[in-house]
Amino acid sequence: MRTPLVLAAAVLYAALPVPAFPEEPSEPVSDGIDHPRGGEGPEGSEIAFEFGDPRISESSGIAPSLRHEGVWWTHNDSGDHLSEVYAVDGEGRTLATVTLGLERRDWEAVSVTEGPDGTPSVLVGDIGDNFGGGWPDVRVYRFAEPEALTDVLIDPEVFTLTYEDGGRDAESMMVDPRDGRLYVASKEFSGGLYAAPETLEPGAEHVLERIDSVPLFATDAAFGPDGARYAIRTYWGVTVYDSTEGVPGSAIGSFDLPESDQGESIAFTPDGTALMAGTEGLNASVWRIPLEERYLVEEAAEEAAGEEPPAEEEGGTAGPEARSALPFIVGGAAVAALLITGIVLLARRG
């Protein structure tokens, strides 16, 4: 979804009067863990590939295939695009085009997970709203992931959902691989994480229930391969959550993502040790961002380190909850100031 470029990080902290009715965002405000604003990204971040297909000009979501190793699914945002989902390889080359036999509104996210019958399925979130909550409902489309990567026309299942607290603009959708439950994160100043019913039925109406808050202006979300972690990204950074005990879980931490014109997509790699982050534009880059050990589940951390991590001693390093609470304990006045400043950062919808 089109959004103006943000100003430099210094603008956020400059001693300027706060306008009464701002129109443009100037800089991100995170969820209290830290304040990612985009930059070089974590150490080891590198461009994995660039989209080579000129049809992919507004990639707004990305997800790894469950059937085909090294393959990623993506799609375009709203605009003058066909209702197509693309399978690309690790070099950014399009391998197959799946055309959905329906009218698109504002596609913003894609997830690949096992369907109710265990078949790998692709879900496309038609959840964007250029009218700022004007649509009476949003839609999610599901189709079986093709066994052969060839161009095909598919009539997908259609699920209709409404928000319990009124229409929202959203760009983030993810599906828990443990139980298949779908979640949507709204893109707004006071964004929320919404849970769909445990079971979705084509043709039925479903209500999205708000269960938590999310970072300012979320643009995509994704679960890790085992559901024990999920990530929510904004234009500037990403927050990783521990969902071992369920959703919403607790925030582990946040960090900057590599700077891009318009950061839109996020996904975990199939092994759960890194994130893939994309942006819009022709020949847009998709970055691979390795995750620090503290963001990994135990098995992945041991595999990445090649050894078992040392046992945490009593009185040692603070755990995720303590880390996430620390910024609120230290510098309360600064937090209050940021909250006031945050009012300035309302983004123009659409």
| pLDDT tens sequence across 94-122 | 999 999 999 888 999 999 999 989 999 99
Question: Residue 215: how many CA atoms within 13 Å on its side-chain side?
Answer: 33
Residues of the chain with pLDDT under 70: 1-39, 299-350
Question: CA nearest 112: which of 176, 184, 60, 186?
Answer: 176
- pLDDT value at residue 130: 78
- Helices marked H in the chain — which ranges? 9-13, 298-305, 320-329, 332-342
- pLDDT value at residue 16: 34
Other residues' Cβ atoms within 10 Å of the Cβ of residue 257: 26
Question: CA nearest 123: which of 115, 135, 133, 131?
Answer: 115
In this structure, CATH architecture of domain 36-308+316-345: 6 Propeller (2.120)
Considering the entire predicted model, what is its pTM?
Answer: 0.78
- pLDDT value at residue 306: 57
Question: CA nearest 266: which of 336, 199, 305, 214?
Answer: 214
CB within 8 Å of 182: residues ≥ 6 apart: 111, 123, 140, 173, 174, 175, 176, 195, 196, 200
Taking the domains of the chain in order of start, what are their residue ranges? 36-308+316-345
With H, G, I as helix, E, B as strand and everything else as coil, classify residue 341.
Answer: helix
CA distance 217 to 263: 11
